[in-house]
Structure 1
């Protein structure tokens, strides 16, 4: 019976991550310490003194373990900060600004899908943290009556599952939530401040809001723009003008990577490939635009 019980415990523990077991054990020990301290205060009381320590141990032991597992990300972040603070004694104040290495994934970054390719190259360090409220939003999108939204939600869930299976980078689901905050973006920003983590997104508005509140952001669109070939004013190239621009006589063309090219006086060349000269380049977090003029004019 004892061996059967041990095997049951082992099989049950296999379903938990090693970090959950370590943090849960520490929480259990802390709860038992508190239970024993309280039990000593009631030790000489009749009835309560005999059974109190047992009840206190069960209640506080379970509470300590449960709270520690729920607050795992905060405990890990705190331990990281303490470790950095200890090493800072030898290396001066340069470690004060070092951040927790975890990255919070936004819903838009998951659905976009490029995050999986970035992780597979090894350029992004983990762990990647997926809050439970982001998963809930993905599930709502996947259950939407709108076909396009439903496909996006399912794509996001498939990408997360594939990233966990590929194991290029550690992907953790964290249970931190804020019932007093409305909106996934607001919760992400608050959680980023709480655990000192960066937010990975391609949402332009979230990028601005997070920056205003002091939360570091890794914008996938910024990374994509940085990797696009640089276009220098005066450079010559050939483009296919596909439609008219917003302003009078403007034409619009696109590079292979999707970059928009605004062609001055190019409306009359719609449907034709023409040589152009770059006049200026405008780059923002929302994307890059190249302004050109017809080369032979």
Structure 2
């Protein structure tokens, strides 16, 4: 429907152009000197010929023109999908400021050029304005976060006495730590201070996981979204949504590290690999798994424990027991005491990246 209306409009426009050209030809001196036929016949021939000619041309190019405009709209729509409303507003602001500044500075120069050549003056003025607009838009979008932070601080401090305030570091949340769920309990205890920063690309990843065809992934993604809603509604901790992106970076983990560097904050995660990459790049990390391991009860070699052997170990004769905090204890010769409570003595403690492992044997 839209295509037919567009093509009809182009054909009508072609006929109008043909009519204007016909009138111009009929009114020209050359046309008056043609004596092949009477003026009426000549006029009719010219109008019919040019109207048909431009009607056919406009009809033929209307389809190609419609496809070109459709492609242009798709390209613009595809490129603007990633642009947030705040980036559009800051882009308009940057373009406006750039145009005002160039107009003020170029007014005397344009007069000077105008005295030399009016056309050259107009071209130079337009080109410089276009360059200024492009530069203004790029700068304002790139410095959007800095400007927002400046106005936020200015609003807080304006007209009031500056109070000594402890500076808090932004905590950038990883997808894994949101899905894990322990971040809610940790914030509730007050051991983590805000602001918690949740980037848009992490929310996008959570939405993709929530829409997964795999039931387990789908449930994990929805649980993560529920955890975020609980943090915002039930806790008093400050939560910020970062709307920016790093389009030149594909991986979400690398984007997180880049954002933490930009904000001067820390990444909160329980991803072992991300932890190692962050250490290599010098980005501070708060790893919940490391925290959980650190607060487990300390057991020393020679200490006596009461244990219940619950399953077989990997090696022959071994049994496995667990402490209340989930720490695994391998009991040498414990297989024969399956399901029984025994007194055991700790022989050694092994600390690994996955957690703490304790070895023990039955007390003689």
- 1:207 aligned residue (254, 275, 280): 275
Which residues in structure 2 correspond to 1:12-23 (within 5 Å)?
none
TM-superposed deviation, 1:73: 6.4
In the alignment, structure 1 residue 231 sits paired with structure 2 residue 294: no
TM-superposed deviation, 1:28: 7.7
In the alignment, structure 1 residue 106 sits paired with structure 2 residue 174: yes
In the alignment, structure 1 residue 72 sits paired with structure 2 residue 145: yes
TM-superposed deviation, 1:35: 2.9
When the two chains are superposed, the root-mean-square deviation of aligned CA atoms in Å is 3.6
Which residue does the alignment assign to 2:333? 265
> Can you give the 5+ residue segments of structure 1 that lack an aligned partner in the other structure?
1-19, 81-98
- Describe the SS at the equivalent of 2:310: strand
Which residues in structure 2 correspond to 1:114-153 (within 5 Å)?
114-153=182-221
- 2:256 aligned residue (156, 163, 188): 188
Which residue does the alignment assign to 2:243? 175
Aligned length: 252
- Greater RCO, CA 8 A, separation 6+: 1
Name the TM-score, length of structure 1 as normaliser. Answer: 0.72
Alpha-carbon distance in structure 2 between the residues aligned to 1:269 and 1:181 = 55
Q: Is the CA contact 1:103–1:127 (under 8 Å) kept in the aligned structure 2?
A: yes
TM-superposed deviation, 1:65: 10
Output one character per residue of 1:165-224: Cα deviation in whole Å (capped at 9) or x when no partner.
124211111123223323222222232233322110111111111111111110101111
Indicate the structure with greater helix content.
2
Output one character per residue of 1:118-156: Cα deviation in whole Å (capped at 9) or x when no partner.
111221111111111111111111111111111110000
Indicate the structure with greater strand content.
1
Name the TM-score, length of structure 2 as normaliser. Answer: 0.60
TM-superposed deviation, 1:233: 1.7
In the alignment, structure 1 residue 37 sits paired with structure 2 residue 101: yes
Which residue does the alignment assign to 1:294? 362
- Describe the SS at the equivalent of 1:177: coil
Alpha-carbon distance in structure 2 between the residues aligned to 1:253 and 1:120 = 31
TM-superposed deviation, 1:114: 0.9
